[in-house]
């Protein structure tokens, strides 16, 4: 079809460590690759080559000379009389590469994120993002919102393809239920998967839990982040027994929590280029309520499940979701976000570009 072609993914972290974001996306995209060989280049503690399923993973030591190592690897791949097609998720690698990036996936725009966080160097990130698009032949956005908030203003050379969930292919044999709390069947269990940082609005969930502390409702929040200890201390100070910050939760234990919960709750202030936990909730046929911000309205099954970021609005939607047991949430996932659907779209894109 295209002779000896190597598809090279540029990312951030090793496939061998816990991965909830970019690494899972790259792993799935590699399943759609029609190339002869697939490589994954990422930052690592040391330079090493490993195999991860269909990917040849090349870790380059992250020091001040990492860009030299990156280009040495790319030149070696090029010298073997094979064409290389670069699909990048890493803006710095795309900018510092000798080779132009053929396809770049945007999860959230650099300038958009730094503006939202009021970063002192947001003008610098504006320049970086502008330079990034000059160095990319084609751009893939994971949502209409991600495209809208980017600095890629052209109506050409881009495509929007949503994310999917790797839970379709996770081996659930022997998943651990150690230390998982069991509850009365009369208790409504609300599950949240978020990075524990300011934009995740954990403070809003704590406020809601405070209002419902005498009700039969329990909140579980999975995730790690810089504010984990801060919020744990706040929950302890408020003496709330109906909310638990779980910290890091393995993929296999996430399966348990998604399957066991009654409602999935996803609050956000900004920085949601897609909303992976929303479609994961649908994969487990659960109702999902989420903030009416960013790309979330594109992913949610209906606008009636969206809340404003106030305690009263969340309480109202929790009551609403408890009554919506007749809706086929899994069908929404299967129709729009399943591995089959997204894999087919990515394969078509690769064939067009290759």
Each residue's pLDDT tens digit, 160-211: 999 999 888 765 554 444 444 444 568 899 999 999 999 999 999 999 999 9
- Distance CA(217)–CA(272), nearest Å, equals 27
Domains 5-164+338-353 and 171-335 share a fold: yes
Closest CA to 305 of 195, 79, 316: 316
Does the pLDDT at position 155 exceed 80? yes
Query: What pLDDT is stored for residue 182 in this prediction?
Result: 44
Query: What pLDDT is stored for residue 19 in this prediction?
Result: 61
Lookup result for tokens 């649908």: 282
| DSSP secondary structure, 299-316, as one string | HSS-GGGEE-SSHHHHHH
Residues 6+ apart with CB under 8 A from 177: 253, 256
- Distance CA(279)–CA(285), nearest Å, equals 9
Out of 5-19, 193-207, 248-262, 285-299, which region has the weakest mean confidence (pLDDT)? 5-19
For the segment(s) 171-335, the CATH number from 3.40.50.2000, 3.30.300.180, 3.20.20.140, 3.40.50.300 is: 3.40.50.2000
For the beta carbon of residue 80, count every other beta carbon within 10 angstroms. Answer: 10
For 225, left (φ over 0), alpha (ψ -120 to 50), or beta?
left
What is the average pLDDT across 120-142? Answer: 93
Does the pLDDT at position 283 exceed 50? yes
Q: Where are the alpha helices (DSSP H) in the chain?
A: 22-31, 66-79, 91-96, 110-116, 122-134, 144-148, 202-211, 228-237, 251-260, 276-283, 296-299, 311-323, 329-336, 339-353
Residue of higher predicted confidence among 20 and 238: 238
Express each pLDDT in 225-273 by its tens digit: 999 999 999 999 999 999 999 999 888 889 999 999 999 999 999 989 9
Query: What pLDDT is stored for residue 177 in this prediction?
Result: 45
Tokens of 50: 């490993």
- Distance CA(85)–CA(101), nearest Å, equals 8
H or E element at residue 100 = none
Q: For domain 5-164+338-353, is the CATH number 3.40.30.10? A: no
DSSP state, residue 163? -
Query: The whole model's pTM is what?
Result: 0.89
Q: Where are the domains of the chain?
A: 5-164+338-353, 171-335
Query: What pLDDT is stored for residue 277 in this prediction?
Result: 94
113 touches 91 (CB < 8 A): no
H or E element at residue 293 = none
What is the average pLDDT across 87-97? Answer: 96
């Amino acid at each position: 079809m295209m002779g000896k072609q190597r598809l090279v993914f540029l990312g951030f972290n090793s496939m061998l460590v816990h991965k909830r974001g970019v690494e899972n996306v790259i792993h799935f995209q590699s399943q759609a690759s029609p190339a002869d060989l697939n490589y994954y280049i990422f930052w690592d503690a040391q330079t090493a080559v490993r195999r991860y399923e269909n990917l040849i993973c090349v870790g380059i030591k992250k020091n001040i000379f990492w860009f030299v190592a990156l280009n040495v690897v790319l030149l070696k791949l090029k010298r073997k009389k094979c064409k290389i097609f670069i699909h990048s998720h890493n803006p710095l690698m795309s900018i510092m590469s000798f080779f132009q990036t053929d396809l770049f996936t945007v999860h959230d725009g650099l300038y958009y994120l730094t503006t939202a966080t009021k970063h002192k160097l947001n003008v610098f990130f504006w320049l970086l993002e502008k330079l990034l698009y000059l160095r990319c032949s084609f751009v893939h956005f994971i949502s209409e919102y991600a495209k809208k908030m980017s600095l890629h203003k052209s109506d050409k050379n881009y495509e929007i393809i949503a994310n999917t969930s790797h839970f379709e292919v996770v081996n659930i044999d022997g998943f651990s239920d150690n230390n998982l709390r069991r509850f009365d069947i009369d208790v409504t269990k609300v599950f949240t998967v978020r990075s524990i940082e300011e934009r995740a609005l954990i403070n809003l969930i704590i406020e809601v839990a405070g209002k419902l502390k005498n009700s039969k409702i329990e909140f579980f929040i999975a995730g790690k982040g810089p504010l984990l200890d801060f919020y744990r201390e706040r929950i302890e100070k408020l003496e709330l027994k109906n909310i638990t910050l779980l910290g890091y939760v393995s993929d296999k234990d996430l399966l348990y929590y998604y399957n066991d919960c009654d409602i999935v709750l996803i609050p956000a202030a900004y920085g949601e280029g897609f909303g992976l936990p929303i479609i994961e909730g649908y994969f487990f046929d659960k109702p999902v309520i989420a903030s009416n911000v960013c790309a979330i309205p594109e992913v949610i099954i209906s606008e009636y499940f969206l809340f404003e970021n106030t305690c009263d609005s969340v309480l109202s939607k929790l009551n609403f979701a408890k009554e919506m047991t007749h809706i086929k949430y899994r069908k929404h996932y299967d129709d729009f976000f399943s591995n089959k659907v997204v894999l087919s779209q990515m394969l078509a894109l690769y064939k067009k570009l290759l």
